Structure 1
Amino acid sequence: MSLFFIKRPNFAWVLALFILLAGLMALPSLPVAQYPDVAPPQITITATYPGASAKVLVDSVTSVIEDELNGAKGMLYYESTSNSTGSAEINVTFVPGTNPDLAQVEVQNRIKKAEARLPQTVLSQGLQVEQASSGFLLIYTLNYKDGAANKDTVALADYAARNVNNEISRVNGVGRLQFFAAEAAMRVWIDPQKLVGFGLSIDDVNAAIRAQNVQVPAGSFGSSPGSSLQELTATLAVKGTLDNPEEFGRIVLRANEDGSAVHLSDVARVAVGSQDYSFESRLNGQRAVAGAVQLSPGANAIQTARAVEQRLTELSVNFPEGVGFSIPYDTSRFVDVAIDKVIYTLVEAMVL
């Protein structure tokens, strides 16, 4: 074969140029990451069932979804975890070469069939079906700067969950975002002895909170059908959902015949706290809230990391006073170094 090209140098030059041009054209579309994506496609299903034990999750959520996943086209295997914090995760692995988008659609269709057998609370919380590369691309943190007057980590986590995470999730190339904190929530600590003393149960408390913490339409004045002389209409706005511990404490659990009533504050302590206390993040010894970004399959690690950093910079303009962000872990830096070494070696080879 070498003799063939030695005798035909012009043909060899033309072929080499074609190969060079083809490589240059394909270069922008090549995925850039710290490690090659050799693992088979994986789809992650996340479900939340507040207050449920691990066994309840397995019996009522995980096993139901797994039954529907059996027989999925191209599925290699699945593995699931259920914990006592009320969250379950199922990782579905497909055979190598499977299109990740088609695999995600297949999983979503299977979950749709299982929804009729899942608890309503789980459906209201939402089932997340995501595809992402294994391992974290980067981890970002929000933390209070030195000298900040207010260092309420619960409030900071709530701000990040509501105003930052969704923006980062929409960045091109981000496959999945894991948040190591939780939004603020109204916490109700019930005193069992007081509850029994009033002849009430946990179900009574749950029913009262659901019934009295709801937004309902109040209608309007002057709407049709009405007098033809009516010129104005007014929509009524009434307060429905409760906002603070004092309002929750006034929820009526039972009205007695003598006109007295048992309120939530009579049997429980109500306060604003974190929705979940499973995570605690620290940066240089100081408490912070952290989010981990996983790369979407085939995405460019360097471009995605830079886009996330740029979006955080844009969002930081509206951060609460005394709050900043940092990126303590970023694998794209290693990719930058590796690419620089490749370019240096290429230039060195051309010179030689």
Structure 2
Amino acid sequence: MILADVSIKRPVFAFMMAAALVVMGLFSYRELGLDLMPKTDYPNVSIRTQLPGASAEEIESQITKPIEEVVNTINGVDELRAYSSQGFSMCFVTFILERDIEMAVQDVRDKVATIVAKFPRDTFPPVIQKTDPDAAPILTIVVSGERSPKEITEISDKKIKQVLETVKDVGDVSFIGERRREIQLLLNADRLNAYGLTVDAVREAVQRQNVEVPGGSFIAGPSEIELRTMGRIKEVRDFNRIILAYRDGSVITFGDIGRVIDTIEEPRSLARLDGRAAISLLIRKQSGTNTVTVVDSVLSRL
């Protein structure tokens, strides 16, 4: 009744109030967030672990099963699924809906941390994260051309990926089908045995002689100068000069037991455009941001 009385007795005031609400609604609509899926917290946690070069059986027995055993002891686990493949372990943990997902993720991290030290050498640290709808790519850009896969990868990285990572609200830009430069050290098994060396010994020697480490500091008058040991190999041919061992007064270098190849890495993923090899860039936004606005910002930057 009060609203009706005001509208009758003061029609101009009522009209202005209605107009103000309409204007505010229009401005609010422009700022309204748009997304494909509503903001929800799924009770799912994934555990991704990598051990390059390991067989599926090794991954299963030394990584996947130990993870399953400790995760199964967490309160509120509804379902546990795990997959093992060459060099890769993936575990999916589903909790009951009543379980707080943030606390569940922390419990998983704490449990997995107790067995990380028992994983095989060279195992990458497990990546533990909850399922997030915002983590899905919102835009895919495909790059192809007449250049080599290595050149396309380098151009895509420097000219596109690094630029798009600076766009507001862009959370991540990742590759599919990239082929990066790789220096391969190929060993001759017969020469290795003849010199009494092992693969581990060669690897340790390469790591030890291809590294940059802090060198401390020294005082020069009123200034303190930081030092750094420049030990990283710059030229591919210099790998042949890495010293592996000494035998009967002679120096054994890598060139004595193997060879170095400057090539590109083996493909781990593939992307194609019109039947030709290509590289896909998957663009993900930051959680909670406007999907349409982020896509428009990315396209305008391109």
**TM-score w.r.t. structure 1 length?**
0.62
Which of residues 64, 67, 79 is equivalent to 2:69? 67
The Cα shift of 1:127 comes to 2.8
- Return closer, same or farther for 1:276/1:102 CA change in 2, 3 Å cut-off: farther
1:214, 1:240 within 8 Å by CA — same for their partners in 2?
Answer: yes
Counterpart of 2:213 in 1: which secondary structure? coil
The Cα shift of 1:117 comes to 2.6
2:43, 2:101 within 8 Å by CA — same for their partners in 1?
Answer: yes
Superposed CA RMSD: 4.1
2:44, 2:94 within 8 Å by CA — same for their partners in 1?
Answer: yes
Asked if residue 32 in structure 1 is aligned to residue 31 in structure 2, the reply is: no
Question: Aligned residue for 1:195?
Answer: 192
1:174, 1:304 within 8 Å by CA — same for their partners in 2?
Answer: no
Asked if residue 129 in structure 1 is aligned to residue 128 in structure 2, the reply is: yes
1:132, 1:294 within 8 Å by CA — same for their partners in 2?
Answer: no
Question: Aligned residue for 2:109?
Answer: 108
Counterpart Cα distance in 2 of 1:166 and 1:160: 10
Asked if residue 213 in structure 1 is aligned to residue 210 in structure 2, the reply is: yes
Which amino acid in 2 is paired with 1:302?
Answer: V
1:173, 1:300 within 8 Å by CA — same for their partners in 2?
Answer: no
Counterpart of 2:200 in 1: which secondary structure? helix
The Cα shift of 1:270 comes to 1.6
Which of residues 144, 150, 174 is equivalent to 1:154? 150
Counterpart of 1:45 in 2: which secondary structure? strand
Asked if residue 270 in structure 1 is aligned to residue 260 in structure 2, the reply is: yes
Question: Aligned residue for 2:79?
Answer: 77
Counterpart Cα distance in 1 of 2:32 and 2:79: 30
1:43, 1:104 within 8 Å by CA — same for their partners in 2?
Answer: yes
The Cα shift of 1:166 comes to 10
Q: Provide structure 2 residue ranges, at least 5 long, that are not aligned to the other structure.
A: 5-21
1:155, 1:184 within 8 Å by CA — same for their partners in 2?
Answer: no
Which of residues 175, 178, 182 is equivalent to 1:181? 178
Counterpart Cα distance in 2 of 1:78 and 1:244: 48
Counterpart Cα distance in 2 of 1:173 and 1:132: 15
**TM-score w.r.t. structure 2 length?**
0.70
Q: Provide Cα deviations, 1:41-60, integer angstroms capped at 9, x if missing partner.
A: 43332222222222222222
Counterpart Cα distance in 1 of 2:141 and 2:53: 29
Identity of aligned residues (%): 20
Greater share of strand: 2
Counterpart Cα distance in 2 of 1:170 and 1:62: 38
Which of residues 239, 251, 262 is equivalent to 1:261? 251
Asked if residue 279 in structure 1 is aligned to residue 277 in structure 2, the reply is: no
Counterpart of 1:71 in 2: which secondary structure? coil
Q: Provide Cα deviations, 1:152-196, integer angstroms capped at 9, x if missing partner.
A: 423543665688279659974758957443643322122222322
Q: Provide structure 1 residue ranges, at least 5 long, that are not aligned to the other structure.
A: 1-9, 11-20, 224-229, 314-352
Counterpart Cα distance in 2 of 1:57 and 1:94: 24
Q: Provide Cα deviations, 1:92-145, integer angstroms capped at 9, x if missing partner.
A: 2333476554443343333333333334522xx44323333396543323444x
Question: How many pairs were matched up?
Answer: 277
- Return closer, same or farther for 1:97/1:153 CA change in 2, 3 Å cut-off: farther
Counterpart Cα distance in 2 of 1:81 and 1:172: 33
Which amino acid in 1 is paired with 2:48?
Answer: T
1:178, 1:291 within 8 Å by CA — same for their partners in 2?
Answer: yes
Counterpart Cα distance in 2 of 1:98 and 1:26: 35
Asked if residue 291 in structure 1 is aligned to residue 281 in structure 2, the reply is: yes
